[in-house]
Amino acid sequence: MTLHTSYRPVLLFVALVLAFVPGAVAQQYETHLSVDSVTVGDRFELTVVVGHDGTREPVFPHDLIPDSLRASTFFTLGDFEILGVNRSGSRNWPSGGRIDSVIYEVTTFALDTARVAGVPVGLAANGDTLQALAPPAFLRIGSLVPDDATEIQDLAELAAFERSWWPWILGLLALAGVLYGLWRWRRQQQGEINEDIAPEPVIPPYQQALDRLSNLQQEDLSDPERIKPFYVELTDILRTYVGRRTHVPALETTTRELLVRLRTSASGTVLPDDVMKEIDKVLTHSDLVKFADLRPILEQTREMVDQTRTAIEGTESAFKAEELRRAREQRAALEAAQYAPEGARTDHPQPETEEV
């Protein structure tokens, strides 16, 4: 993967155009990638440059697309997924023009080649926006298949296995379980078994998540082969807790689908943006380790446990505060009904509180 060390040639080119083209028509749009090629899931930078006469304000893609860069939200340009704005800048030139630019953090999951046909940009003045497309951008995608992989082989013959006795053993165990259940039910019917069997206590989701995180923190990560199972367990802890606490199917959805469901469900009014951002950060980083073969350093892997704990504690605090608010509202409504004048009282039942 080859990195471009500077964006100065692009800005110099636009500056030269502004120097020799009259101000009324001096408009130049450029796109630039920080790499020539990547593998699936790598992050890189996309630079969009607008050169103009200075009488208008630039409108970049994240300004044209409403709510495109809210916390925990992506938007796409062609095959590129825009993760955020790294930095932006503006420069005036003595000849009477101005260059504005923005640098996005980008990733892609395309195969072979990633491209964007044109980047939408605009120039605005007095409520009027001139829209245009910056030049297209292309990027080669490297293969994840090892270079020494051999060609596809012919199908091998079916292997012969000895007859397994496990189905018979499992069938006998199942039959024995059924017979024992019938025998126990009959004794209960006859009154011979009177003891009460206490149900197994259910561990609250918050306590269960903290216990599992404490156990995970004791894992020995000196073996690189333990990194990926570590992230599998980490995401399972976070998804299990979020699913139990918010009643959203967190284990059966992708990271993006989970974030969308959290925002569109009742939990969307409970969870603050910083907590949503922490959940997104943990799940997105873990997905890159599990599916894009990202190799994080050991200190970063340890820090992910603390970030996960922060996301869980923030979620728990938000829901505790919401439950306390609802309890106060219900108590206030009951007290108001109790001390209301006799003629003002009604027999209508109190509205049920929504479960969070």
Rounded mean pLDDT, 199-228: 86
Residue 102 lies in a domain: yes
Taking each helix axis as running N to C, give the angle between helix 227-246 and helix 298-338, from 0 to 180 degrees, rounded to the nearest 10.
10
Which of 142, 159, 182 terminates a domain? The answer is 142
Per-residue pLDDT at 59: 87
Q: Report the range of poorest mean pLDDT among 106-115, 226-235, 313-322, 337-346.
A: 337-346
Answer with the residue of higher pLDDT: 337 or 274: 274
User: What is the per-residue pLDDT for 116?
Assistant: 86
Sheet of 128-134, strands arranged across: 57-59, 119-125, 128-134
Q: Nearest to residue 50, comparing CAs of 61, 58, 39?
A: 58
pLDDT for residue 154: 65
Residues 253 and 127 in one domain: no
Higher pLDDT pick, 98 / 267: 98
In this predicted structure, what is the pLDDT of residue 312?
A: 93
Q: Which pLDDT band holds residue 45 (cuts at 50, 70, 90)? A: very high
Give the model's pLDDT for residue 4.
44
Which residues, at least 6 apart from 277, have a Cβ–Cβ distance to it below 8 Å?
A: 71, 72
Q: Mark which of 99, 115, 142 sits at the end of a domain.
A: 142
- How confident is the model at residue 199, as a pLDDT? 56
Is residue 333 located within the same domain as residue 256?
yes
Structure tokens at 41: 């899931």
323 and 213 together in one domain: yes
Range name among 27-36, 142-151, 203-212, 319-328 with the lowest pLDDT average: 142-151
Query: For the chain, how many structural domains are there in total?
Result: 2
**Residue 21 confidence (pLDDT):** 43
List the Cα angle 292/308/275 in 5-degree steps.
105
In this prediction the pTM is 0.42
> Which pLDDT does position 279 carry in this prediction?
92
How far, in Å, CA of 15 to CA of 12, rounded?
A: 5
Name the more confident of 114 and 67.
114
Same domain, 135 and 224: no
Residue 179 lies in a domain: no
When mean pLDDT is compared across 40-54, 69-83, 316-330, the lowest value belongs to: 69-83
Asked whether residue 309 carries a pLDDT value surpassing 90, the answer given is: yes
Whether 126 and 241 share a structural domain = no
Q: Stretch 194-201: mean pLDDT, rounded?
A: 54
156/327: higher pLDDT: 327
**At 331, phi and psi to the nearest 5?**
-65, -40
State the average pLDDT over residues 209-215.
92
pLDDT in tens, 218-234: 888 888 888 889 999 99
Closest CA to 45 of 2, 1, 8, 82: 82
* The domain boundary residue, chosen from 123, 142, 161: 142
pLDDT class of 19 with cuts at 50, 70, 90 = very low
State yes or no: pLDDT of 240 exceeds 90. yes
| Residues 286 and 212 placed together within one structural domain of the fold | yes
Whether 343 is in a domain gets the answer no
Distance CA 259, CA 261 (A): 6
Per-residue CA distances from 309 to 213, 240, 302 (Å):
8, 13, 12
Query: Is 149 part of a structural domain of the chain?
Result: no
Residue 89 is assigned to a structural domain of this protein: yes
CA atoms of 281 and 285, how far apart (whole Å): 6
Best-predicted range by mean pLDDT among 104-113, 190-199, 294-303? 104-113
CATH number at residue 122: 2.60.40
Mean pLDDT of the chain: 79
Residue 3: the pLDDT is 37
Instruction: Indicate if the pLDDT at residue 124 is higher than 70.
Output: yes
* Neighbour count for residue 347 (Cβ, 10 Å): 4
pLDDT at 209: 92
- Across residues 337-352, what is the average pLDDT? 61
Q: Does residue 327 share a domain with residue 252?
A: yes
117 and 227 assigned to the same domain: no
Nearest to 72, CA basis, from 283, 328, 327: 283
Claim to verify: residue 124 and residue 237 sit in the same structural domain: no
Tell whether 183 is covered by a domain.
Answer: no
pLDDT band at 29 (very low <50, low <70, confident <90, very high): confident
Residue numbers of the domain that contains 223 = 205-338
Same domain? For 32 and 122 the reply is yes
Same domain, 136 and 217: no
In this predicted structure, what is the pLDDT of residue 236? 95
Assess if residue 189 is contained within a domain.
Answer: no
- Higher pLDDT pick, 346 / 310: 310
pLDDT at 1 over 60: no
Residue 282 belongs to a domain: yes
